[in-house]
Structure 1
Amino acid sequence: MFDSLGLKRLSDIVPGDETWFPFFIIPPKRLNRMWIEGQGDSPAVLRPGFQSRKRMFTVFFNYSGPLVVVILPQDITMTATYYVQNVLSQVKSAINEHPPKVSTSRTLLLHDNAGPHKARATTQPLRELGIQVLPHPAYSPNLAPCDF
C-alpha cells in the first residue's frame, strides 16, 4: 500500500469515518416546570422519537488524537457537496493548524469507499486542495481504523 506512494510514516495518515451515535440533549429541570392557570389546556410536551435521537458523527484523527468531529445536522443527508463544504474544509484547516511534528512532504487522507467519498464532486476539490487520498480496499472492514 505504501510502495506506490514512497516512504511514509503512520503519522502522515489522517483516517476518518462516519458512524451513528445516540445523541440527544436533555433539557434542564427548570424547563420542565410550568405554571398552569385554571383556564385552558396544559401545553403538550413533545418527546423526540427513537430515530430522531441518532445523529451521524464524522470523525477524523491523527496520531495524537481526534482532529475533527462534525455532527451531521438533523434532516440533512450526507452528500458529496456537504462532505466537501463542511467536513473536508474543516479537515484541511485542522491539518494546516496541527501538522505532524516530523517533517513530511504531504499528509494522506484515509476514508472508506462510501459514495460521498468517491464522487467526482469530492475527488476534484481534494486534488485542488493538494490532499492525497490513500487507497482503501473494497469490502475490508478490518482495515477501517475508526471501528476499533
Structure 2
Amino acid sequence: MTPKQNSNQPYGSIEMKPTEVARERSASKRMIASLFNKTDHVPTVSLENYRTMNSYWYTAICLPEIIDELRKNNHNNASSHTAKHTNKLLKEKNLELMSNPAYIPDLAPCDFFDFQK
C-alpha cells in the first residue's frame, strides 16, 4: 500500500519532507591542568576564562590552589614552567622539583593515574 498521492503527480514520485532534527547544544571545550605529585594524582585545575597556560595563570591561580598538596613537583620544559616568574614563586615556597622521567611517547605523566592498577 502506498501513501495517498495527488492526481497531478505521476505514480512513484512522491516527495517526502525531510525530517528536521533538533540538536542539543554540545558542551564547550574546557582546558584543564592535570597535576600529580610523587605518589598520587593532584586534583585538576580548570583554566577558567584562559585559553592557554602561561606563567601568570600557573603562579597566580593554579599553584596557590594545589601548593599544599605538592611536596615535589615535576615540570617539563613548557614555557609556563620555565619562566622566571614561575621559578621565583617556587623558590619562595621552597618547592623541590623532581627530575624529568625518561621520554615515553605513549603515556604522558599526567595520564598515568587515569588507569586503574
Bin of the TM-score, shorter chain as denominator length: 0.5 to 0.7
Per-residue deviation, 1:114: 0.6
CA contact (8 A) 1:68 1:90 kept: no
Greater strand proportion = 1
Say if 1:108 and 1:75 are closer, same or farther in 2 by CA, change over 3 A: closer
Higher relative contact order (CA 8 A, sep 6+): 1
Structure 1 alignment gaps of length 5 or more = 1-46, 96-106
Partner of 1:140: 103
Letter in 2 for 1:116: S
- Give the TM-score, by structure 1 length: 0.48
Gaps of 5+ in 2: 1-24, 113-117
TM-score if structure 2 supplies the norm length? Answer: 0.59
Q: Provide the secondary structure at the position in 2 that maps to 1:93.
A: coil
Deviation string 1:8-51 (CA, Å, 9 cap, x unpaired) is xxxxxxxxxxxxxxxxxxxxxxxxxxxxxxxxxxxxxxx56xxx
Q: Do the aligned residues in 2 keep the contact of 1:80 with 1:122 (CA within 8 Å)?
A: yes
Determine whether 1:59 maps to 2:34: yes
Provide Cα deviations, 1:95-139, integer angstroms capped at 9, x if missing partner: 4xxxxxxxxxxx3211221110111110111011000112326x9
Residues 45 and 62 in structure 2, CA contact (< 8 A), matched pair in contact too: yes
- 2:104 equivalent to 1:129: no
Q: CA RMSD in A?
A: 2.7
Task: Say if 1:113 and 1:136, in contact at 8 Å, map to a contact too.
Answer: no
- 1:86 positional shift: 0.9
Larger relative helix fraction: 1
* 2:79 aligns with one of 92, 112, 115: 115
Q: How far apart, in 2, do the equivalents of 1:115 and 1:60 lie?
A: 16
Once residues 85 and 67 of structure 2 are traced to their aligned partners in structure 1, the CA distance between those partners, rounded to angstroms, is: 16
1:78 aligned to which of 37, 53, 61: 53
The alignment-based identity, stated in percent, is: 31
- Indicate the structure (1 or 2) with the bigger Cα radius of gyration: 2
**Number of aligned pairs?**
87
Contact (CA 8 Å) 1:55, 1:74: kept in 2 or not?
no
Q: Which amino acid aligns with 2:62?
A: V
